[in-house]
């Protein structure tokens, strides 16, 4: 998945839609007629999704947001919401960032139980602070920026800004929807806490944060189903979906990494995985309207919808030369067997390509793929590192 896309979708779109909705409906009149159970229902559905997909850290994130929301509204009803606001502005960013950094360990495990106990202890500590007050820290916690653009204090903004930067770095590094979900959820929480008073706007942004985090779990499920984890290319299931939508004119090319087993034996499987990623990166940039898919093992598929074989072949030749000219540096000298690698360093990776187009004699995609496979076999027999049709 591309880093920018992983960062923006789906949480970024939810936040953007929420901000525009508030901009065009400052009083949020359309939402006032909604039943009061809608936000808790969204929270419950998100929690069930997190449990179903075994994303316990997301479940913890939804829990702390829900607890903060309940505490805020209870405090607003008592007429003293400020202590809860500042405590939530400190604890929520720290918790959401911690959940993004931690590794999934499950719910009914030693790690899961310890984390649940820590959350419970944290809730008890927050209750004690709110009950007994924080008079010594009040001047620092209540010092707000000049103007009325936010109700948060300087210390709230510093902690939140630091956590946002950490989450942004994690999202760009890991390129995962979950990390992006935590980031956008935190931004929604800050928008909710920045409101000068606790109105439906606060509830609206908290619900948007819950939705952003919940949908990130569904996006992970989509990525796991339709994208290859190693290369990032669309996988076999995505290929089958695309094949079912092809028209009456198209070309299919099968691409195979030459002597890949020998490469693995010489340099090790880690280097083999790096080689596949390099080839996939080149294939993803194929020109001529083509799209690359991971077919399986060291084999890939290229689809050229609306293109004849003559139209697609120059782009396949350009792609073949591009892969062959890419020098591959073997970074590790270790192999799983513990044997030394002969001549470690720079290696050359090439691909053989077989292509076929739809015709009256082969009208189904499966038949075109078989024809492309036969052409690939001819390319291998002819000496590899070439295109055959």
pLDDT attached to residue 320: 94
Residue 137 pLDDT > 60? no
pLDDT for residue 280: 94
The rounded distance, in Å, linking the Cα atoms of 83 and 75 is 9
Q: Region 181-195: what's the mean pLDDT?
A: 91
Give the angle 107-187-138 at the CA atoms, nearest 5°. Answer: 95
pLDDT at 1: 45
335 has a pLDDT exceeding 50: no
Q: Of 155, 216, 169, which Cα lies nearest the Cα of 188?
A: 216
Taking 70 as the threshold, does the pLDDT of residue 144 lie above it? Answer: no
Model confidence at 136: pLDDT above 60: no
Listed in sequence order, the residues at least 6 apart from 132 whose beta carbon sits closer than 8 Å to its beta carbon are none
pLDDT in tens, 61-94: 999 999 998 888 888 777 777 788 888 989 999 9
At 41 the pLDDT is: 94
Bridge-partner residues for 250, per DSSP?
A: 305
Q: For the chain, what are the domain ranges?
A: 3-226, 236-388
Mean of the pLDDT values across residues 170-182? 85
199 band by pLDDT with thresholds 50, 70 and 90: confident
pLDDT at 176 over 70: yes
- CB 163 within 8 Å of CB 186: yes
pLDDT, tens only, 245-258: 898 999 999 999 99
Residue pLDDT, tens place only, 248-292: 999 999 999 999 999 888 888 888 899 999 999 999 999 999 999
Between 228 and 337, the more confident residue is: 228
* Banded model confidence at residue 331, pLDDT cuts 50, 70, 90: low
- CB-based contacts of 225, cutoff 8 Å, min separation 6: 235, 237
> Which residues sit opposite 328 in a β-bridge?
347
| pLDDT at residue 295 is higher than 50 | yes
Burial class (CB in 10 A: 0-12, 13-18, 19+), 128: exposed
| CATH 3.40.50.150 is the classification of domain 236-388 | no
**What is the pLDDT of the chain when averaged over all its residues?**
85
pLDDT value for 376: 96
Q: What are phi and psi of 190, to 5 degrees?
A: -65, -40
Which pLDDT belongs to residue 294?
Answer: 95
Q: Is it the case that residue 339 has pLDDT exceeding 50?
A: no
Tell me the per-residue pLDDT of 101-134, one tens digit each, with 9 for 90 and over: 998 887 778 888 888 899 889 888 888 877 776 5
Lowest model confidence (mean pLDDT) among 19-23, 36-40, 192-196, 257-261: 192-196
The reported pTM is 0.72
Give me the mean pLDDT over the 305-310 stretch.
Answer: 94
> Does the structure show a pLDDT above 80 at 135?
no
- Edge-to-edge, what's the strand order for the sheet holding 291-296? 291-296, 299-305, 250-257, 351-357, 387-388
Joined tokens for residue 257: 């990494």
Averaged pLDDT for residues 325-341: 57
Hey, CA dihedral for 106, 110, 113, 119, is it positive or negative?
negative
Quick one: what percent of the chain has pLDDT higher than 90? 47
Question: Comparing 14-28, 181-195, 292-306, 343-357, which segment has the lowest mean pLDDT?
Answer: 343-357
């Amino acid at each position: 998945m591309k880093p920018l896309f992983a960062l923006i979708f789906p949480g970024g779109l939810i936040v953007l839609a929420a901000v525009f909705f508030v901009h065009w409906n400052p009083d949020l009149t359309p939402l006032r007629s909604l039943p009061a159970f809608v936000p808790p229902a969204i929270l419950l559905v998100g929690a069930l999704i997190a449990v179903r997909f075994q994303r316990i850290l997301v479940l913890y994130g939804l829990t702390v947001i829900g607890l903060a929301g309940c505490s805020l509204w209870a405090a607003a009803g008592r007429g003293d919401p400020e202590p809860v606001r500042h405590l939530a502005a400190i604890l929520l960013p720290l918790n959401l960032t911690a959940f993004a950094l931690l590794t999934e360990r499950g719910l009914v495990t030693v790690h899961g139980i310890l984390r649940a106990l820590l959350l419970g202890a944290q809730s008890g500590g927050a209750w004690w602070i709110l009950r007994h007050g924080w008079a010594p820290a009040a001047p620092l916690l209540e010092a707000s920026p000049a103007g009325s653009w936010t109700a948060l204090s300087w210390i709230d903004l510093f902690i939140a800004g630091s956590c946002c930067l950490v989450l942004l770095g994690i999202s760009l590094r890991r390129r995962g929807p979950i990390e992006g979900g935590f980031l956008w959820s935190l931004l929604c929480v800050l928008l909710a806490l920045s409101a000068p008073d606790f109105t439906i706007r606060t509830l609206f942004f908290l619900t948007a944060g819950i939705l952003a985090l919940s949908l990130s779990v569904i996006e992970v499920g989509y990525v796991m189903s339709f994208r290859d984890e190693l290369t990032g290319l669309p996988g076999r299931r995505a290929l089958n979906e695309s094949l079912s939508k092809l028209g009456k004119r198209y070309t299919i090319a099968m691409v195979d990494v030459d002597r890949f087993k020998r490469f693995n034996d010489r340099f090790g499987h880690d280097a083999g995985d790096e080689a596949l990623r390099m080839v996939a990166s080149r294939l993803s940039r194929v020109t001529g309207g083509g799209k690359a898919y991971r077919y399986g093992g060291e084999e890939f598929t290229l689809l050229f919808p609306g293109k004849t074989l003559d139209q697609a072949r120059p782009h396949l030749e350009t792609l073949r030369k591009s892969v062959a000219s890419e020098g591959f540096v073997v970074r590790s000298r270790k192999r799983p067997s513990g044997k030394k690698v002969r001549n470690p360093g720079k290696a050359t990776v090439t691909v053989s390509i077989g292509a076929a187009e739809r015709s009256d004699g082969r009208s189904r995609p499966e038949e075109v793929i078989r024809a492309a496979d036969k052409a690939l076999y001819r390319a291998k027999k002819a000496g590899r590192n070439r295109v055959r049709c």
